[in-house]
Amino acid sequence: MISDSIAQLLQTGVSVMVGTRDASLMPECTRAWGIQVGSDRDTVTIFLSESFAGKTIDNLRANGLIAVTCTRPTDHITCQLKGRLRSIKPVRPTGRDVSMKWHREFMAELIAIGVPSRLGEAWIIEPTVAVEITVTDVFDQTPGPGAGKKLRQ
C-alpha cells in the first residue's frame, strides 16, 4: 500500500518520469503528464502521450514492467514506484481533468524555482492513454543518506 506521505507527494505537481525496458534490456524513458493514486492505494494511473511514449507503451505491452520516478522540484523529495502493468486505455474526460490539474500544479512548482511561465504554457501535452499500474515496491530516492531505501514491502 502506498503510504499517506507518498500519496500526498504524488499529488503536489511532481515531475513524473517513466522507465521501461525492452526484451534486450535496452532502457526507455519518457515523461508522464500526471499521476493519480488509486483509491485502493495499491495502484497508480499515469497519463502518457502515444506520440512521445510509443516505445514505452510497446515495452509495457511486451513485458509489463515499469518504474515511475516522481520528484517535487521545489525540495527534490523523490520517490520511485516499481510495478506491473494492469491496463492501457484511452484517456477519458476525468483523466484529462486529472492531467490538467497536475499540469497546473507542476507549473507552479517550476515557477517557484524560477522557470518562466511561458515555457510551461508552450509545454502542454494532452495525454492520449491512461496506464494503470499495480505498485509492487516504493523507494525513497530523495538525494541524501536515505536514497535507495525501500519504503514498501
Q: What is the pLDDT of residues 5-60, one digit of tens each?
A: 999 999 999 999 999 999 999 999 999 999 999 999 999 999 999 989 999 999 99
Residue type, 102: W
**Is the model's pTM score more than 0.85?**
yes
CB 104 within 8 A of CB 119: no
Kind and range of the H or E element at 61? helix 50-63
pLDDT tens-digit map of 79-135: 999 999 999 999 999 999 999 999 999 999 999 999 998 887 777 678 899 999 999
| Nine-digit cell string for 80 | 520511485
